[in-house]
Amino acid sequence: MTGIAPRPSSLDTQIDGQTAESWSRIIAQLADANIYQTWAYGAVRWGRRHLSHLVIRRQGQVLAAAQLRIIQLPFIPTGIAYLRWGPMCQIKREPLDTAVVVAMVARLRQEYAERRGLALHIIPNAFAASDHAAVFQYALAESGLHPEPALGHYRTVVVDLEPAEEDMRMRLDQKWRNQLNRSEKNNLVLEVSDGPETYREFLRLYKAMRARKPFDTSVNVHQFARIQELLSGQNCMWTFLARTDGNAIGALVCSQMGDTAIYLLGATNEKAMELKAANFLHWRAMMWLKDRGARWYDLGGIDSVANPGGYHFKIGFGGNEVTQFPPYVTCGGVMGEAMLRGMAWLRRRRTLTVKPSVRASS
């Protein structure tokens, strides 16, 4: 890790005062931007009045930004400032600067934990044992935050899209590659669009899939439809359809922002299973996203216990199985600590009682 922490006087801090348009312009400058930090995601999932934004600049240049959800309960003089997959601290085409991350985390603590008295809960957009994780671990410790693994963590498979297509193909599991080869002989046609009609075709496939094989899921595909309506330009999600004889038989929905594409949603029918359309869709989507500048393809989570079939399918991509950097917290007083402990207890209870489920993105 390198970098000397910027002098506080050399940085300008802006707290709140954003619009959907201004926030979109800010995150467009950052390589670690992601859908969970978009105005659209926050407004639909949490409500606009519960959002807060913090940006630091030097001489007008955006260095880092974060969108937080503010959770406050009635009649209780505290709450939680929840930051998912942030802060975003890497300018496009530049390496991650440790000094910027240190400065950003310090300002988040000053504003939300010290000034507002909230418990601050940060889930960085970094995977354990990576160079980025080391930077965030250092910065978070510098500001007195500590890991809270009881709040849960995200496991996934990430595929490196930088190698040549031939090399990527050789990295596929043999069975996965054989199924891809079969799919490519089935005259499937790929359609890619960020338009609402293509997403509605995904919804029709998804509804039929749920009717055919009911499963528990926390994913709300109609919320994602509303998010898509609010997203604009390069932030829009992409829907990939596989067609045969003009009919859509499989679909997947991805978000590509910064240097990473994330697989969010998927649906297939029985014809798609017969023609191995899932392999066709993912492979063609990866090549399409690679051509648009994506470096990484995040397969949207894995759970070998709750969804062993989805787990084995995703392992076949030849990517790296990774665990997200754990949540880090600091409490804005006794009440904030109690709220964080309550969140951890609820998560543990839900983990013990929830039935095995199939993700929508499997």
Residue 219: give its domain's CATH number: 3.40.630.30
What pLDDT is recorded for position 216? Answer: 73
Tell me the whole-structure pTM to 2 decimals: 0.88
Could you tell me if 220 and 317 lie in one domain? yes
What pLDDT is recorded for position 354? Answer: 39
Q: Are 332 and 117 in contact (CB under 8 A)?
A: yes
Could you tell me if 74 and 189 lie in one domain? no
Q: Report how far residue 201's alpha carbon sits from residue 315's, in angstroms, rounded to the nearest whole number.
A: 28
Could you tell me if 57 and 123 lie in one domain? yes
Q: In this structure, how many other beta carbons lie within 10 angstroms of the beta carbon of residue 308?
A: 12
Indicate whether 361 belongs to any domain. Answer: no
Amino acid (one-letter) located at 264: L
Could you tell me if 44 and 145 lie in one domain? yes
Could you tell me if 163 and 58 lie in one domain? no
Could you tell me if 15 and 141 lie in one domain? yes
pLDDT by position in tens, the chain (length 362): 555 455 555 899 999 999 999 999 999 999 999 999 999 999 999 999 999 999 999 999 999 999 999 998 877 778 999 999 999 999 999 999 999 999 999 999 999 999 999 999 999 999 998 999 999 999 999 999 999 877 667 899 999 999 999 999 999 999 999 999 999 999 999 999 999 999 999 999 999 999 888 777 778 999 999 999 999 888 999 999 999 999 999 999 999 998 999 999 999 999 999 999 999 999 999 999 999 999 999 999 999 998 999 999 999 999 999 999 999 999 865 555 565 565 554 554 544 443 333 334 33
Could you tell me if 167 and 147 lie in one domain? no
Kindly tell me the burial class for residue 211, based on how many C-beta atoms sit within 10 Å of its own C-beta (0-12, 13-18, 19 or more). Answer: exposed
What pLDDT is recorded for position 213? Answer: 82
Could you tell me if 148 and 189 lie in one domain? no
What pLDDT is recorded for position 357? Answer: 36
Could you tell me if 262 and 120 lie in one domain? no
Domain count for the chain: 2
Q: In this structure, how many other beta carbons lie within 10 angstroms of the beta carbon of residue 313?
A: 21
Could you tell me if 46 and 82 lie in one domain? yes
Indicate whether 2 belongs to any domain. Answer: no
Could you tell me if 245 and 333 lie in one domain? no
Q: How far is CA 315 from the centre of its chain?
A: 19
Q: Which residues contact 102 (CB under 8 A, 6 or more apart)?
A: 3, 5, 138, 139, 142, 143
Longest dimension (CA), the chain: 64
Could you tell me if 176 and 190 lie in one domain? yes
Domain region containing 54 = 8-153+325-353
